[in-house]
Structure 1
Amino acid sequence: MKSATLRGLRQLLWPKSTGSLEGAKPPRPTAYLDGLRGFAAFLVYIHHHQLWAHSSRQRVILENAWGWDGEYHLATFHGIRNFFIGGHIAVAVFFVISGYVLSVKPLSLIHAGEHLKLFDNLASAFFRRWFRLYIPLIITTLVYVTSWHLFGIWNAACEPKQTIGEELWNWYVQFKNFSFLFKEGWPWVDYNAHLWSIPLEMRGSLIIFTACIALSRATTKARLLCLLALVFYFLYVVDGYYCAYFVAGMLQCDLDLLAKSDGYFPRFLRRLEPYKTVIYYHLFFIGMYLGGVPAETTKFERLQESPGWQWLSYLKPQAVFDYKWFYLFFGGNIMVACAPRIGWLKRFFESRFCQFLGRIAFALYLVHGPILYTLGDRVYYAVGFVREANDGHEKVAHWANLFPLPKTGPLGLEIAFLLPNIILLPLTLWTAEFVTRMVDEPAVKFSAWLYKQIQGGAAPEPRPVELAPLMRVE
């Protein structure tokens, strides 16, 4: 019985190593990216739950380096900390993967010299992108805010308005400003603060589409140099860190496509081919280290005081305001580069577990916050975790210590933290699956359908009337 259970678990996580899936289809060439994106979304879930459940002092400890202020915990140790507080490196991975995936087809067409097909591809992708990102956001936040008034559900994220009419108006005002990509200031929506990255995702998408058009007729060497120059500009000259992530993802994609072709490929990279295993293992550990950059504050002095980061702090360029995004740029790119080149890592991201997470990743990102703000807040309160902001609030006061659990165990692995997730994690994954099927996938189909509609069924348009001869001055 025990042996069968272990085989089943191994088959779930390592399907390629079992030999029992003879009829299974081989994974797509970029399936590992889906798994990496899904696992990154899972890290975001863990990160936000860690910060929500623990006290303000514990949150400061978790977000700082191992050994800061004399605090030494497993959850803050180099590399390991990414599995407790890895939401920041996860966002970096999201952006790099997006730059990679969005540019795969356009770059393939550029390499093939199919410029007319390139235009069609970019026109379709450009049109569909906003709808694909914002329709799920609109529906999930709208359902969330109306539930407060229809079912009397209080949430810990923000105080509900007096009436549902006021709530819907406030939701509309926030969303219309949030949806405008060029709005000054930081993109934010009170109803789900975790959605701040969506406008940056859209802006980065526009940069990729624009770069594909601008460099479509450049030589291979010139295109690579231009992408490298853009990365340098966004990271070292101006504070456009997220733009650098997207362009770096496009650069990685271009190099991967070139490596598979017989065309130009940087000679110095070819010379490193025999040593790639050693190189990528070293890069993996470097990326894990950089991914755990202290992130409790944006004050650069804190980084300089952090054990293990004093010398690395001198690398930060003047342009970057929030220092963590500079180090996460390298950590995120290294993770994406290493994923297909380290065998066991690629197999893990191609496993059923990670592929499932990859399929629901966007929905998981959208719904884990609202569930945490409502049910999660109450469950953690019931087992003994008290958030200072909610302590004694009339809406949740009766939940306090209903089922107290011991807080024994290492920081981040307390019994009182792990047991509630027996309920919260499956519920969140089920909700994400439901939203994927009922909202996310239909949004993708709707955007594709809408694009076909504006094309008029792809029927050729009549020739426009030539106005030039009529306007000629005799």
Structure 2
Amino acid sequence: MSRSLLDGELAEKGLRGDLLQENRIGTKLVKITGSFFAMLRGTVESRKPARQTSLRSTAYLDGLRGFAALMVYVVHHEGWGHSNIEGSNSFLEDAFGYKGQYYFVGLPGMRLLFTGHVAVPIFFVVSGYVLACKPLTLLHAGEHLQLVDNLASALFRRWLRLYLPIIAVTFTWITIWHVFGLRHTDSFSDPPESTFRDEVWKWYCDFKNFSFVFENEPWNKYDAPTWTIPKEFRGSIVVWTALLSFSRFTRNARLCCEAGLVFYFLYIVDGWYCAAFVIGLMLCDLDLLAQKNNLPAIFYRLSKWQGRIFLTMFITGIYLGGVPSVTNDIEHLKESPGWHYLAMLKPQAVFDFRNFYRLIGATLIMVAMPRLPWIKGFFELSFCQYLGRISYSFYLIHALIHWAIGDRIYAAVGRVRPGHEVVAAAWMNRFTLPDYGPFGLEVNFLVPHLVLVPMTFWISELCTRLFDQPSTKAASYLYNFLLDQSTVSERR
């Protein structure tokens, strides 16, 4: 098709202005990408932390959290990058062998890496563990006054630590729209407003509603993956409330109450994410008791089989964490190969069975991991530790980079989907690459990540230093500034 004919068709559709705008955006992005790679090596080297001689006992949890953030990146790109292929959602999300579909990405174990929805319950269980660690240490030591002080400080700082980075990231995001004229390609969000002033007002209204964590399902229109953050805050409150409530109980009574809460949130009400946090709390409690050889007797009776038990738990967790996720229809799960009988274990109270199986999988993985040195060692590698350090920023910005740049690169290499003719017309089929390779690992799917992965890492590093770490420090500073120092002195 001639260029003049193409221009005529675009003009008839009212898209010529958008095409010219996309050309200007393309030029800007090429320049930005070039300068980005020039700075990347120096930035990483100059900010590379000194090698640690020893790791904290819970360092593997940092690595697990970081790796889970990377899994979220993969699942979002796999789904979005293959949305141009009919049936792709079934290929990615259905069980291996469902209706004759045999794809490498659907293999048990592999599907956890390519469709890693289990990352979210992993986040929640890890958070429950980490949030409970210091308070439980004080509780076990009988330091009840310090326990109250610790919980007060943690509760005050938590909202600021979670939400200040979201404020900074989303405001920067809308500013980029209007300064660079870069329209996002997110189909879940509204198009940009006509003026920056209108955009700021809309952003403010959206965030103030999102910030009320007790709303049923708060949603941030500017950064969809943040749907988990209100649940993070609610789960934090559950953990600290439980710790305070159980702090004067005996060991066995406390453990029974923790187990009772898990049962309540899974089998009485649909509170799976609260159960995840309490499971993290309970695992931390048991680990601290194990350090003092003070576990309930049943655990010591099983110790001679612990190697086999934990390996079985890990493999089972991998399998359950990859539950078919194409729909929340339990009948569909019963028809899936390898899941008919497992589907019968779904609690009546849980509306979406996928959350239940993912949580059980995440729990089994968490229990087994520190007892399997080869697994624990992987998450203690410097790469996973680095992922853990930038994980929150990585989680917040990965989708924004996808919508601003990644989707346009997909269009450029030939992965064109409906809607590209509106928001990325100038990028369509610019540098077409072959789609050779197994589903989920095609050449024209993997090549864009040669740009997207290092760019996402680099911007995550910047956001960690500019937004995440300062937010943590600001919350701590504000708490200490407001603290009545006389009460602190009296308790010493």
Indicate whether the TM-score tops 0.5.
Answer: yes
After TM superposition, list the pairs within 5 Å mapping 1:53-68 onto structure 2: 53-55=81-83, 57-68=87-98
Q: What per-residue deviation string (whole Å, max 9, x for no partner) do you get for residues 109-143 of structure 1?
A: 11111000000100100000000000001100111
TM-score scaled to structure 2, two decimals?
0.87
**From 278, 289, 296, the counterpart of 2:308:** 278
**From 239, 263, 269, the counterpart of 2:270:** 239
**From 55, 70, 90, the counterpart of 1:27:** 55
Partner of 1:199: 230
Q: Give the partner amino acid of 1:166.
A: D
Partner of 1:146: 175
Which whole-Å CA distance do the structure 2 matches of 1:279 and 1:140 have between them? Answer: 44
Partner of 1:175: 207
Q: Give the partner amino acid of 2:200.
A: L
Which whole-Å CA distance do the structure 2 matches of 1:462 and 1:38 have between them? Answer: 39
After superposition, the CA RMSD in angstroms is 1.6
Q: Give the partner amino acid of 1:147.
A: I
Are the structure 2 counterparts of residues 462 and 303 from structure 1 closer, same or farther at C-alpha, using a change threshold of 3 Å? closer
How far has the Cα of 1:300 moved from its partner?
1.8
Partner of 1:8: none
Q: Give the partner amino acid of 1:422.
A: L
Contact kept? 1:236, 1:317, Cα under 8 Å: yes
**From 230, 248, 258, the counterpart of 1:227:** 258
How far has the Cα of 1:462 moved from its partner?
12
Are the structure 2 counterparts of residues 67 and 262 from structure 1 closer, same or farther at C-alpha, using a change threshold of 3 Å? closer
**From 218, 222, 225, the counterpart of 1:187:** 218
Identity of matched residues, %:
49
Q: Does 1:216 align with 2:244?
A: no
SS at match of 1:153: coil
Which whole-Å CA distance do the structure 1 matches of 2:364 and 2:223 have between them? Answer: 30
Q: Does 1:161 align with 2:182?
A: no
Q: Does 1:368 align with 2:422?
A: no
Q: What per-residue deviation string (whole Å, max 9, x for no partner) do you get for residues 232-269 of structure 1?
A: 00001100000000001100000000011143x22111
Are the structure 2 counterparts of residues 207 and 74 from structure 1 closer, same or farther at C-alpha, using a change threshold of 3 Å? same
Q: Does 1:96 align with 2:125?
A: yes
Is the deviation greater in 356-365 or in 270-279?
270-279
Partner of 2:413: 383
**From 439, 447, 453, the counterpart of 1:425:** 453
TM-score scaled to structure 1, two decimals?
0.90
SS at match of 1:278: helix
Q: What per-residue deviation string (whole Å, max 9, x for no partner) do you get for residues 77-123 of structure 1?
A: 1111111111x111111000000000011111111110000001001
**From 276, 288, 293, the counterpart of 2:318:** 288
How far has the Cα of 1:69 moved from its partner?
2.5
Structure 1, gaps ≥5 residues long: 1-22, 464-474
Which whole-Å CA distance do the structure 2 matches of 1:128 and 1:35 have between them? Answer: 23
How far has the Cα of 1:151 moved from its partner?
1.1
Which whole-Å CA distance do the structure 2 matches of 1:391 and 1:444 have between them? Answer: 39
**From 351, 354, 357, the counterpart of 1:324:** 354
Q: Give the partner amino acid of 2:443.
A: I
Q: What per-residue deviation string (whole Å, max 9, x for no partner) do you get for residues 426-469 of structure 1?
A: 0001111111111100100000000011115x244999xxxxxx
Contact kept? 1:207, 1:243, Cα under 8 Å: yes
After TM superposition, list the pairs within 5 Å mapping 1:346-357 onto structure 2: 346-357=376-387
Partner of 2:144: 115
Q: What per-residue deviation string (whole Å, max 9, x for no partner) do you get for residues 283-340 of structure 1?
A: 1110000010011222222212211111110000111111101111111111111221
How far has the Cα of 1:24 moved from its partner?
4.4
Partner of 2:26: none
Q: How many residues were matched structurally?
A: 436
SS at match of 1:294: coil
Which whole-Å CA distance do the structure 1 matches of 2:489 and 2:70 have between them? Answer: 51
Contact kept? 1:66, 1:78, Cα under 8 Å: yes
Query: Runs of 4+ in structure 1 displaced over 4 angstroms?
Result: 460-463
Which whole-Å CA distance do the structure 1 matches of 2:305 and 2:416 have between them? Answer: 52
Contact kept? 1:52, 1:387, Cα under 8 Å: no
**From 70, 75, 79, the counterpart of 2:105:** 75
Which whole-Å CA distance do the structure 2 matches of 1:129 and 1:417 have between them? Answer: 38
Structure 2, gaps ≥5 residues long: 1-50
Which whole-Å CA distance do the structure 1 matches of 2:296 and 2:456 have between them? Answer: 45
Q: Does 1:397 align with 2:445?
A: no
Partner of 2:8: none
How far has the Cα of 1:60 moved from its partner?
2.7
Are the structure 2 counterparts of residues 384 and 171 from structure 1 closer, same or farther at C-alpha, using a change threshold of 3 Å? same
Partner of 2:282: 251
